[in-house]
Structure 1
């Protein structure tokens, strides 16, 4: 790519030059045409004045034959050096006076009558043989004896053409000079104006992976660059947030995977330190299997979240009977709930537009948490009811509740509201993050609220999918 194509300053300078050429040329053409019209009008007015003078001289001439005898007074009135051509002839075409030489031009058939003064519209244009446009006026004149002659006066265009040619050269020179001057000034002004762009670029170069807190100074940016600066800062905000989230995610992932891996290594090392019985090896394998299952669940959950983040999961949405879907979930948790001494009740009606598998997974995660934290003798409620624009599914359980400080981060990955009560072997802190991802895939939302003695999770499924 050439330097010209890469340089916005040079492109704008060239654009200013092109605009200057067009503007100067347009103005020059307009002024040239205006001057040409003015010169023509001046020549036509001069023709009328000189025809009137020749008529006056004829009035003082005794007979038409005197025109031939004394031509100088008529020629002097015409002023040969001014580029005028004069022909006087009788009405039957006999020439009395001619100074046209070898020049040929058409003598108008119609001439202004003696009783009328010539006007501008009586002047006609004629292309002289050999060049230039003549302006011709024909009028009838009357001698003192009453004889009538035809007077034809033509104005040659040479002096007018020379003046216009000189003016045309000046217009062209002005257009070229103005274009060059405009291009240079435009180049300098654009270069100065783009200095703020270079300042923003210098600020952007300071942004690194270790310095994501730097922002462009949008307050000093011109209005045309304000949108760009704000958009870039918004990108940096999202990038910094994602980077921090990824760093936290990596740290949490390493922490959560380190525990089962350490357990596997320690238990295996202890078992290998001395000979063991078959029963001891079987117990070791059983313990290792639990750790492997935990790691497998963690990896499967992380893969699901990664696919959900990139919307690689295809939904198979259908209208589901809300009561039937929740009854099946309650039945699935009937045994662990009974073992914990708690009950599960369903209160639902209507239909919900959702993917059955993902709906069950989201509600299962919520119910699993509810079973874990509901005290003995408590009851978990699974409710579904129509809401504005969709269906709301709610999981309510009694208990100590969740603190207000934990609610905003409740759906973050690897976050546990109560680490002292949360068994690391049973929970990786990804269940609620999966719930939020499932609701995002459905273009819905999830909300948690808690107060002393009760915790409530609400899932909202819109009645139709709308891309956002």
Structure 2
């Protein structure tokens, strides 16, 4: 089927139009043919009944059987001009008085309508008057002028003339059906081809969009309303593609920048160390500084590997109900020593059960707490809060400080994005912490959000769905 089915949409629709027209015209043709056949048959049946009544009327005016023999043409003339009409008049003793054709090899053996009854359609029977040849027949008694004398009237109508007319009509119908289907296919091809011109124009517009022209969009107003949804969806895909392309380009630039810094430091330190002989203390300091850069590179590579696996859904989740307050207290205890060194307090509040992977939950909250401690002034308090919502569990980490400007907040979870460029080269930061938090929330089917007021409170909120 596929082998003979054209690939062209125009040709397919034209064939479908032709098939639809062929089917419709065929159904109409069959209906008209059957209707005509029924009408012809009904006409023949009424004609036969009428002929019986006509012969009865003539017989009443005939004085005797002998008069019928002497004037047969009077009775034969009644059937003249009616092709396929067979007439017999038979006396009560079985003798044939009148016959207009010699084709019949035998007389019909059917019930005879009494002379005092009016014949109707129920008296009509099928009579095989010759081998393989049939006729619709009716038989009735008719009285002569002498009421005591009756004559059997036999009138039959062959189907030859009716079938000849129907055959000719059938040929006309077949010709009309085929011609109509051909016209429908031709007109359908023309109409569809003209109707698909906007699609061709859209295809040409789409062909002109390249990696360097991702800002170009398809004209939705230039296409029919049925295709506007498709064009709008395609434009939405281009929007997402352009955004992803821009983020990828920015990510590549940021990655190159962040990798260049530790590599540059390692290269310069090594060149300085090799420029002349050094003491043992200098080599130890050099190795310690290099180790810090190696550790930074290691953390960066591990974070990038985690993000790549998370993007491809290769991180297996081990969801289980966790005591949120207990988990947050454990994290606060872990950071207590670091916080005390910079004069920051940690406070845990609220209670709820969170449905999450324990390791990933702790990693996400650890990243938020680490950032909060880093940007909290001495004497401030980092608050960890958990609360049960109707459809999710809310976990938030808030801290005082100079805050984050509104223009930076939408990009905080982008990779390598930093608000404080002065800290961009810190050995403790890779610029991927918040991106990892966003990926962890995406894996859980949740959401990461931020709200900040300059010189007041900055709050990062994680929403873990109860039923992921």
Scaled by the length of structure 2, what TM-score is found?
A: 0.94
Kindly indicate whether the alpha-carbon contact (under 8 Å) linking 1:108 and 1:138 is maintained by their aligned counterparts in 2.
Answer: no
For residues 167-204 of structure 1, the C-alpha deviation after alignment (integer angstroms, 9 at most, x for no partner) is 11111111111111111111111111111211111111
Distance 2:373 2:462 in 1: 18
Q: How does 1:273-422 map to 2 (within 5 A)?
A: 273-422=275-424
Kindly indicate whether the alpha-carbon contact (under 8 Å) linking 1:316 and 1:355 is maintained by their aligned counterparts in 2.
Answer: yes
Q: CA offset at residue 254 of structure 1?
A: 0.8
Partner of 1:125: 126
SS in 1 for 2:422: coil
Q: How does 1:55-454 map to 2 (within 5 A)?
A: 55-79=56-80, 82-104=83-105, 107-146=108-147, 147-451=149-453, 452-454=455-457
- Structure 1's 326 and 115: CA in aligned 2 closer, same or farther, altered over 3 A? same
Q: CA offset at residue 3 of structure 1?
A: 8.2
Kindly indicate whether the alpha-carbon contact (under 8 Å) linking 1:132 and 1:158 is maintained by their aligned counterparts in 2.
Answer: no
- Structure 1's 97 and 238: CA in aligned 2 closer, same or farther, altered over 3 A? same
Kindly indicate whether the alpha-carbon contact (under 8 Å) linking 1:439 and 1:446 is maintained by their aligned counterparts in 2.
Answer: yes
Distance 2:10 2:195 in 1: 10
Distance 2:443 2:290 in 1: 35
Q: Calculate the aligned-residue CA RMSD, in Å.
A: 1.9
- Structure 1's 129 and 350: CA in aligned 2 closer, same or farther, altered over 3 A? same
SS in 1 for 2:421: coil
Decide which moves more: 104-113 or 203-212.
104-113
Q: CA offset at residue 124 of structure 1?
A: 2.7
Distance 2:359 2:269 in 1: 37
- Structure 1's 314 and 35: CA in aligned 2 closer, same or farther, altered over 3 A? same
SS in 2 for 1:363: helix
Partner of 2:22: 21
Kindly indicate whether the alpha-carbon contact (under 8 Å) linking 2:392 and 2:465 is maintained by their aligned counterparts in 1.
Answer: yes
- Structure 1's 350 and 82: CA in aligned 2 closer, same or farther, altered over 3 A? closer
Kindly indicate whether the alpha-carbon contact (under 8 Å) linking 1:264 and 1:288 is maintained by their aligned counterparts in 2.
Answer: yes
Decide which moves more: 412-421 or 90-99.
90-99
Q: Number of paired residues? A: 465
Distance 1:36 1:186 in 2: 33
Partner of 1:460: 463
Q: Where in structure 1 are there 5+ consecutive unaligned residues?
A: none
Partner of 1:35: 36
Kindly indicate whether the alpha-carbon contact (under 8 Å) linking 1:366 and 1:432 is maintained by their aligned counterparts in 2.
Answer: yes
Distance 1:78 1:354 in 2: 101
Decide which moves more: 223-232 or 136-145.
223-232
Q: Where in structure 2 are there 5+ consecutive unaligned residues?
A: none
Distance 1:78 1:248 in 2: 103
SS in 2 for 1:333: helix
Kindly indicate whether the alpha-carbon contact (under 8 Å) linking 1:85 and 1:155 is maintained by their aligned counterparts in 2.
Answer: yes
Distance 1:236 1:259 in 2: 34
Distance 1:192 1:133 in 2: 57
Distance 2:277 2:94 in 1: 148
Q: CA offset at residue 260 of structure 1?
A: 0.7
Q: CA offset at residue 143 of structure 1?
A: 1.2
Decide which moves more: 279-288 or 290-299.
279-288
